[in-house]
Amino acid sequence: MRDLLFFFAGCLTVFGLRFFVAPDLHASNVHDHVFRALSYLQGDLQGTSTSQNTFQSKSSIVSSLSSPQCTDPSWKENFLYDAEDPKSASLGRGLHYLCVTTSSASSSGLKGLQVTPYLNAVESRIPPSPFSFPSAESLSLNLQELMGPQERRDRDFVLYDGNGLQLFTERELLTVSSEIVQETLSRAGLVLLFEGAVFIWPGVRVGHQRNVSISGTGYQGGPNYLTLETLTLRPLLFGVVEQFVSNEECNHIQNRSRPHMKQSGVSLMDKDKGKAATEWRTSSTYFLPSGMDQVLRGVDHRVESLTKISKKNQEQIQVLNYGVEQKYDGHHDFFDPKMYANDKNTMKLIENGRRNRVATVFFYLSDVAGGGETMFFCAHGKPAPKNLADCSPENGHKVKPEKGKVIIFYSLDFAGKTDPFSLHGGCPVLEGEKWSGNKWIWNSAMHFSEYNK
Ligand SMILES: O=C(O)CCC(=O)C(=O)O
Ligand SMILES: [Fe+2]
């Protein structure tokens, strides 16, 4: 809500106040798309999944070919939310699973494909009824009918495989040949449909662990997969079990930023205009451009590989340094258009609410001798405490800083709506100092991204 806009302010100056509309996430070129689908079919896809048709590393051939299938009995454990638990049953809203199988009736031809839908990421008491899709258009119509009136959705849906590889946008289903659509989906087996367009890892249940292949994007000597552990379902918060940023990379980021660190700012909501940022946030900050720095580019690539969201949607790392007593009170990382109605630049940046930050990958770049935890004030769906500077343990879920570790939390839900439960803050450092960094990821490309040129 009140988070920093210095980066954008900087960009505004650099780009001479030239705001232009970022490429639409959904308007990908059909020819690129046919290439993507054909590559998928031929098993020669050279990239991690991204929303922007990037094909970077051979490694994801493996991951796309071994993407989870509905024929594997464990798929339900790894994807479905518990329909019986009133606390988690509604948390899969906006995410639907399609199990694509060849119907036994006509197992010889592609026309015999069947889709079994699991709406809102749960298995309802009434078993889902499969439907066949003789054409891509009929699939599209069936899906639209299942999801209800289009007015309820403010963007086109996007289909992914179980490893986060983007398959088709809603629009592409109507422009790409039925044969390609049928063959791609049958190869994927398990298809994830996000109403909010962007791929988000399903949390499933607290304590759930999921291995994510990051082959080729890890640091020297680091693992080639990472384990995402669900810490809270509401907000959707994951911890990465393994060290994500090596000690050398942490030191490199600190060293490159140290000479530039300045008092942190916040982007003030209309109601707070005129107040000092230090009322909420007392750390120092620097937005560190990746430029040609291979270490930073490696980290950006790893973040893409972990989140399955394009590098083009990333902001530069916002490096933070907190001394004793420094902190950042409870806030959201998304921009609520209602709170910025009189702020023309922010409204332009977020296209009146259509664009927003979807996820934060938060790096801990040092250990902290005391305090400095990240606090999630609405953890497990609790109402926010009155005092958003109060880090008492009963006020939420705390994550302790550990050098090289990261957490990921989502500011938008599967349907693309802002999540008020993502309220969080940095607790005061009690002893020593804290180095950390925000890697903010948007729901569409940043027009000034270093990877968007
Ligand atoms: O320092 C922390 O733990 C959280 C910081 C934060 O939320 C932010 O900078 O937006
Ligand atoms: Fe934040």
**Type of residue found at 70:** C
Co-location of 242 and 352 in the same domain: yes
Cβ–Cβ under 8 Å, residues 98 and 116: yes
Q: Are residues 381 and 358 in the same domain?
A: yes
| pLDDT value, residue 450 | 86
Q: How far is the CA of 328 from the centre of ligand 1 (A)?
A: 6
212 and 114 assigned to the same domain: no
Rounded Cα–Cα distance for residues 66 and 223 (Å): 19
362 Cα: distance to centroid of ligand 1 (angstroms):
8
Q: What is the mean pLDDT of residues 374-392?
A: 97
Closest CA to 26 of 46, 56, 52: 52
Ligand 1: does its nearest atom lie under 6 Å from the Cβ of 436?
A: yes
Q: How far apart are CA 344 and CA 351, in angstroms?
A: 10
For range 194-200, the mean pLDDT? 97
pLDDT for the residue numbered 86: 85
Domain-terminating residue out of 169, 194, 219: 194
pLDDT at site 35: 53
**210 and 188 fall within a common domain:** no
pLDDT of residue 38: 57
**317-322/434-442 β-pairing:** antiparallel
- Ligand 1 near 313 CB (within 6 A): no
CA angle 257, 259, 265 (to 5 degrees): 70
Ligand 1 atom 7, closest CA: 425
Identity (one letter) of the amino acid at 161? D
Say if 325 falls within a structural domain: yes
Residues 179 and 304 in one domain: no
Strand locations in 188-326 (E): 190-194, 209-213, 225-232, 237-240, 262-263, 284-288, 317-322
Is residue 136 in some structural domain? yes
Q: Around 429, how many Cα atoms within 13 Å sit in the side-chain half-sphere?
A: 20
Residue bearing tokens 């490696």? 298
83 and 148 fall within a common domain? yes
**Residue 38: is it exposed, middle or buried by C-beta count within 10 angstroms (0-12/13-18/19+)?**
middle
Distance (angstroms) between ligand 2 centre and the Cα of 425 equals 6
The response to whether residue 438 sits with its C-beta less than 6 Å from ligand 1 reads yes
User: Same domain for 235 and 148?
Assistant: no
Residue 148 forms part of a structural domain: yes
More confident residue, 220 or 15: 220
Choice between 107 and 39, residue whose per-residue pLDDT is larger? 39
For residue 300, what are its two tokens?
A: 């950006």
In short, whether 64's Cβ falls inside 6 Å of ligand 1 is: no
Does some domain include residue 178? yes
Is 24 or 352 the better-scoring residue by pLDDT?
352
| Average pLDDT over the chain, rounded to an integer | 86
In a domain, 17, yes or no: no
Q: Which atom of ligand 1 is nearest to the CA of 264?
A: 9
**What is the average per-residue pLDDT within 350-377?**
97
Measuring from atom 4 of ligand 1, which residue has the nearest CA? 426
ipTM of the complex: 1.00
Residue 25 domain-assigned (yes or no): no
Question: pLDDT digit string (tens) for 41-95?
Answer: 655 443 333 333 332 332 333 344 478 899 888 999 999 999 999 888 899 999 9
CATH number of the domain residue 365 falls in: 2.60.120.620
State which residues form the domain around 382: 203-442
Q: Which residue has the higher pLDDT, 130 or 35?
A: 130
374 CA distance to ligand 1 centroid (A)? Answer: 7
Question: Which of 194, 229, 256 corresponds to the end of one domain?
Answer: 194
User: Residue 2: is its pLDDT beyond 80?
Assistant: no
Question: 125 by DSSP, 3-state: which?
Answer: coil
User: Residue 2: CB within 6 Å of ligand 1?
Assistant: no
4 located within any domain: no
Same domain, yes or no, for 125 and 210? no
Between the two ends of the chain, the Cα-to-Cα distance in Å is: 29
d(CA 453, CA 451): 6
Asked whether 435 lines ligand 1 (CB < 6 A), one says: no
Q: Which two tokens stand for residue 371?
A: 């305090």
Of the residues 257, 328, 333, 405, which should be mutated to test ligand 1's pocket, given the most ligand atoms within 8 Å of the CB? 328
Same domain, 61 and 119: yes
In this prediction, residue 153 has a pLDDT band, given cuts at 50, 70 and 90, of: confident
Minimal-distance CA residue to ligand 1 atom 1: 426
Q: How many domains does the chain have?
A: 2
Q: Is the pLDDT of residue 365 over 90?
A: yes
Written as six digits, the tokens of 386 are 């009155």
What average pLDDT does the segment 220-246 reach?
97
Verify whether ligand 1 is closer than 6 Å to residue 189 (CB atom).
no
217 has pLDDT over 90: yes
* Omega cis (within 30) before 73: no
Report the side by side order of strands in the sheet with 317-322.
Answer: 209-213, 225-232, 237-240, 406-410, 357-364, 434-442, 317-322, 284-288, 262-263
- 239, 355: one domain: yes
Same domain, 187 and 278: no
Domain boundary among 159, 174, 194: 194
Residue 377, class by beta-carbon neighbours within 10 Å (0-12 exposed, 13-18 middle, 19+ buried)? buried
> Out of 61-65, 368-372, 402-406, which region has the weakest mean confidence (pLDDT)?
61-65
Cβ neighbourhood burial of 436 (10 Å; 0-12, 13-18, 19+):
buried
The pLDDT score that the predictor gives to residue 56 is: 30
41: in domain: yes
Residue 174 shares a structural domain with residue 41: yes
